[in-house]
Chains A and B, each alone.
Chain A
Amino acid sequence: MNVTQTDQQINTRLAHDHLLGLEGYSSEEIELVLSTARRFREVLYRPIRKVPTLRGITVVNLFFEASTRTRISFELAEKRLSADTVNFSTSGSSVLKGETLKDTVQNIEAMKIDMVVVRHRSPGAAHFLTQCVSSTIINAGDGAHEHPTQALLDLLTISDRFGYVEGLNVTIIGDIMHSRVARSNIHGLTTLGANITLCGPPSLLPVEVESLTDRDNVHVTSNLDEALEGCDVAMALRIQLERQGSNRLPSLREYHEQFGIKMSNMNQHKDLVIMHPGPVNRGVELASEVVDHERAVILDQVTNGVAVRMAILFLLSGHADVDQT
């Protein structure tokens, strides 16, 4: 699974011009992002946390959906690389003005930019932008479709924790149906050879859930104990609180009873590592003590998020041919 050091061609270039999703990204490409992220992560621990790698590159962060963590993470990654950044955050203001997404992004591109980081509630929005403008597009979450940088930071966290990904048993727990995090992780994890268990109430599992991958190492269950058996990593997904009103869940209390990871699970599974894409609803997906547990790597995920986004920005910037710092 490791990229051979002899093949420099594969080693320094992504086959893709954009990051729209992890679907279609090869193991070599993913490994390239992870190894690049490890090198950039070192920058975060320097006294002056900045390199000139993307000087002169202008990145627009286009967030049509509320986001704190992902937006800040991208913005920091851009600043660490000395890119010029502009933020466009709205939860519908341009729509209220009657402007289409195409017009919005074409207007911004007319101001001369290089890369667009986009979050939008419509699946396919990032792909749609590639048809509207010539800038490099990075998907920061498109509806329930993909959130590739989240999966990459998860893969980096897992890979660093265990030293490998292939053969690990990873359980993803919760609202699989509405989760772009789950979809991107399923693509990334299966590409790197992990075994996946999906666990959630049937009302939050999408129909034909097994079709989420063409590989056969995906297991589906609605029983948490079964899902945690032999599990190396448990990835709890955030429950959107408004799901309660959709009749897909009776209550958050009952959700925690059935699917929340509790201290008893931690005590029973002595090597189980806990991940969460954040923000955590304490006492819902994870018992509060589990959030703070030494085997919860949630804050490592956040740090890795900056490093992975630096790597992606660099690799897609067109500067990857030039040697980096």
Chain B
Amino acid sequence: MDSKREQNLVIKGGTLLDALSGEQSRADIRIRDGKIAELGSNLPDDGDFVYDASDRLISMGWMDMHVHFREPGHEHKETINTGCKAAAFGGFTAVACMPNTDPPVHTRDVVEFIVKRGRETPVDVYPIACVSRDRAGKSLAEMADLKAGGAVAFSDDGSPVYDGGLMRHALEYASMLERPVINHMEELSLNVGGQMHEGAVSTRLGLAGIPGLAEEVMIARDILIAEFTGGPVHVAHISTARAVELVRNGKARGIPVTAEVCAHHFSLTDSEIERHAFDTHLKMHPPLRPASDVEAMKEGLKDGTIDAICTDHAPHASFEKEVEFIAAPFGILGLETAWGLIGRELIRPRVLSVVNAVAKITVAPRKILHIPLPELTPGNAANLTIFDAETTWIFEERHIHSKSRNTPFVGAEMVGKAHAIYNRGYLVQNLV
């Protein structure tokens, strides 16, 4: 990966994809002082650096609204710097990072620390702050102050906001702040030591199961609380067919609920754990689900029930994953493989068009988080992704830019490739 400061350049020969309108047009882009100066055909290079984007698509920069960058506290897994390298490789110019760090992102100084660290990279890093103090689920964190420090949403991700009363007040307060509460949907009493989806495969392997019910019960509760309070709730990493149905019904009734799905939840089923004999790189939360749920993810994306695609990029060190299954932590990398999986599972089989797929990682997350859209119009800061949706390639270990290695996709086919991002005056080219 080649990252360099390039305030002035011309991107020539690319096709611009407007994720809002769906329109495509051939145009060169001139960037001056990091801003889009001019769009047009056959722009002269004027001595500036020229990026050849022939046969490539260009959209506003992609955003992953659910990542774990582990800093502060767990820098042996990932840092904001290494996480941003993974993001840039994957084509993302923006991420929203979850607050289950150590200390958790429950005070303004931690929010500001993350914002500051993010500014040292070519990627926009938006902190999501805790709903509760110490992420303990007991009392509200200072949400207005956290927002003032730069928080774009509130979540106790890793854990649910379990207390219904706390969730009610969090949503009331969040509606004043015009920011969503993102809940990790899990009714804890329905998941007793679960290691994988509870179904035929867990039954055969003898692993304690996590029933889809645990997710669905919590989503049902939160949709009702969102209806009651009017506060916007965002369903983190949705993974079951019934959960999609609940969100679909909620949206139809006009309740402020949105949802995201991780790329692995529409790409893999729980049977992989049996096929790969307890591979801990297939252990994540929510767990991989059966084929019927995977199909429901695609349906939900297609009909708009699921707004956004995310990764839940969750790095863990090799020594932490190289253990017996029940001792392994939950979570896998996602940023480097997201677009290749979107291409393989959604675009090539025509579940989504290219522009609809791009909208799920550009417009949708920013709308949910109230982040201005970096449209490709003169005057805007240049924030864009250069990519294609057809290149077939094999994901290899050398493609991993995260500090950790915990992905089940080494050796897997990817369809579509992010070639470069431009953001904040940096051109980051993916040369492998």
Bound CA–CA A237/B195 (angstroms): 24
Residues in chain B near residue A208, CB distance under 8 A: 199-200, 203
* Complex: chain B residue closest to A179, CB-CB: B206
Interface residues of A in 150-183 (CB under 8 A from B): 178, 180, 183
Contact for A207 among B205, B209, B319, CB less than 8 A: B209
* Contact across chains for A211 and B200 when beta carbons are under 8 A apart: yes
The answer to the question of B395 belonging to the interface, with a C-beta cut-off of 8 Å to chain A, is: no
* Contact across chains for B206 and A143 when beta carbons are under 8 A apart: yes
* Complex: chain B residue closest to A20, CB-CB: B277
The answer to the question of B198 belonging to the interface, with a C-beta cut-off of 8 Å to chain A, is: yes
* Complex: chain A residue closest to B196, CB-CB: A123
- A109-137 CB contact bits vs B (8 Å, 1 = yes)? 00000000000111111011000000000
The answer to the question of A72 belonging to the interface, with a C-beta cut-off of 8 Å to chain B, is: no
A123-B278, A124-B277, A127-B277 are contacts. A207–B203 as well, Cβ < 8 Å? yes
Bound CA–CA A167/B300 (angstroms): 48
* Complex: chain A residue closest to B328, CB-CB: A122
Residues in chain A near residue B204, CB distance under 8 A: 183, 211-212
Bound CA–CA A212/B209 (angstroms): 15
The answer to the question of B323 belonging to the interface, with a C-beta cut-off of 8 Å to chain A, is: yes
Bound CA–CA A180/B205 (angstroms): 9
* Contact across chains for A101 and B202 when beta carbons are under 8 A apart: no
Residues in chain B near residue A100, CB distance under 8 A: 319, 322-323, 327
* Contact across chains for B203 and A212 when beta carbons are under 8 A apart: yes
Contact for A120 among B319, B322, B324, CB less than 8 A: B324
Bound CA–CA A109/B346 (angstroms): 47
Residues in chain A near residue B209, CB distance under 8 A: 206-207
- A229-268 CB contact bits vs B (8 Å, 1 = yes)? 0000000000000000010000000000000000000000
Residues in chain A near residue B198, CB distance under 8 A: 207
* Contact across chains for B206 and A127 when beta carbons are under 8 A apart: no
Contact for B325 among A123, A178, A183, CB less than 8 A: A123
* Contact across chains for B324 and A144 when beta carbons are under 8 A apart: no
Residues in chain B near residue A78, CB distance under 8 A: none
Bound CA–CA A121/B206 (angstroms): 11
Interface residues of B in 103-126 (CB under 8 A from A): none
A131 to chain B, nearest CB (A): 9
- B304-335 CB contact bits vs A (8 Å, 1 = yes)? 00000000000000010011111100000000
Contact for B278 among A124, A207, A209, CB less than 8 A: A124
Report the contact-size class of chain A (Cβ under 8 Å from the partner): 20 to 34
- B200-221 CB contact bits vs A (8 Å, 1 = yes)? 1111111111010000000000
* Contact across chains for B325 and A124 when beta carbons are under 8 A apart: yes
Residues in chain A near residue B432, CB distance under 8 A: none
The answer to the question of B192 belonging to the interface, with a C-beta cut-off of 8 Å to chain A, is: yes
A100-B319, A123-B278 are contacts. A128–B203 as well, Cβ < 8 Å? no
Which of B201, B207, B323, B324 has the most CB atoms of chain A within a 10 A radius of its CB? B324
* Contact across chains for B206 and A123 when beta carbons are under 8 A apart: yes
Residues in chain A near residue B192, CB distance under 8 A: 246
* Complex: chain B residue closest to A248, CB-CB: B192
Contact for A123 among B207, B211, B322, CB less than 8 A: B207
* Contact across chains for A180 and B324 when beta carbons are under 8 A apart: no
- A207-219 CB contact bits vs B (8 Å, 1 = yes)? 1110110000000
Residues in chain A near residue B208, CB distance under 8 A: 144
Bound CA–CA A246/B201 (angstroms): 23
Residues in chain B near residue A31, CB distance under 8 A: none
Contact for B324 among A125, A178, A209, A246, CB less than 8 A: A125
* Contact across chains for A122 and B326 when beta carbons are under 8 A apart: yes
The answer to the question of A102 belonging to the interface, with a C-beta cut-off of 8 Å to chain B, is: yes
* Complex: chain A residue closest to B209, CB-CB: A207
Bound CA–CA A143/B278 (angstroms): 13
Residues in chain A near residue B326, CB distance under 8 A: 121-123, 143
Bound CA–CA A146/B205 (angstroms): 8
* Contact across chains for A102 and B323 when beta carbons are under 8 A apart: yes
* Contact across chains for A122 and B325 when beta carbons are under 8 A apart: yes
A18 to chain B, nearest CB (A): 12
Bound CA–CA A101/B324 (angstroms): 7
* Contact across chains for B203 and A101 when beta carbons are under 8 A apart: no
The answer to the question of A145 belonging to the interface, with a C-beta cut-off of 8 Å to chain B, is: yes
Residues in chain A near residue B323, CB distance under 8 A: 100-102, 128
Interface residues of B in 158-212 (CB under 8 A from A): 192, 195, 198-209, 211
* Complex: chain A residue closest to B277, CB-CB: A127
B190 to chain A, nearest CB (A): 12
Bound CA–CA A145/B192 (angstroms): 17
A209 to chain B, nearest CB (A): 6
Contact for A122 among B200, B203, B327, CB less than 8 A: B327
Interface residues of A in 176-213 (CB under 8 A from B): 178, 180, 183, 206-209, 211-212
Residues in chain B near residue A122, CB distance under 8 A: 324-327
- B91-111 CB contact bits vs A (8 Å, 1 = yes)? 000000000000000000000
Bound CA–CA A121/B207 (angstroms): 10
* Complex: chain B residue closest to A177, CB-CB: B203
* Contact across chains for A128 and B278 when beta carbons are under 8 A apart: yes
* Complex: chain A residue closest to B320, CB-CB: A100
Bound CA–CA A101/B327 (angstroms): 10
Bound CA–CA A211/B205 (angstroms): 11
Residues in chain B near residue A178, CB distance under 8 A: 206
* Contact across chains for B205 and A209 when beta carbons are under 8 A apart: no
* Contact across chains for B205 and A145 when beta carbons are under 8 A apart: yes
B376 to chain A, nearest CB (A): 48
Bound CA–CA A128/B273 (angstroms): 13
Residues in chain B near residue A124, CB distance under 8 A: 205, 207, 277-278, 324-325
Which of B192, B199, B211, B326 has the most CB atoms of chain A within a 10 A radius of its CB? B326
Bound CA–CA A125/B324 (angstroms): 5
B55 to chain A, nearest CB (A): 42
Bound CA–CA A142/B204 (angstroms): 13
A124-B205, A125-B324, A246-B192 are contacts. A207–B277 as well, Cβ < 8 Å? no
Bound CA–CA A151/B411 (angstroms): 37
Residues in chain A near residue B327, CB distance under 8 A: 100-101, 122
Contact for B203 among A120, A127, A146, A209, CB less than 8 A: A209
Q: A residues near B, CB below 8 A?
A: 100-102, 120-125, 127-128, 142-146, 178, 180, 183, 206-209, 211-212, 246
Top 6 closest pairs, chain A to chain B, by CB: A124-B278, A144-B206, A145-B206, A211-B200, A122-B324, A206-B203
Query: 7 interchain pairs (CB within 8 A)?
Result: A122-B325, A122-B327, A127-B277, A143-B207, A183-B204, A207-B209, A212-B204
Known: A102-B322, A124-B207, A208-B199. 15 other contacts (CB 8 A): A100-B319, A100-B322, A101-B327, A123-B205, A123-B207, A123-B326, A128-B324, A144-B206, A207-B199, A207-B200, A207-B211, A209-B203, A211-B203, A211-B204, A212-B203
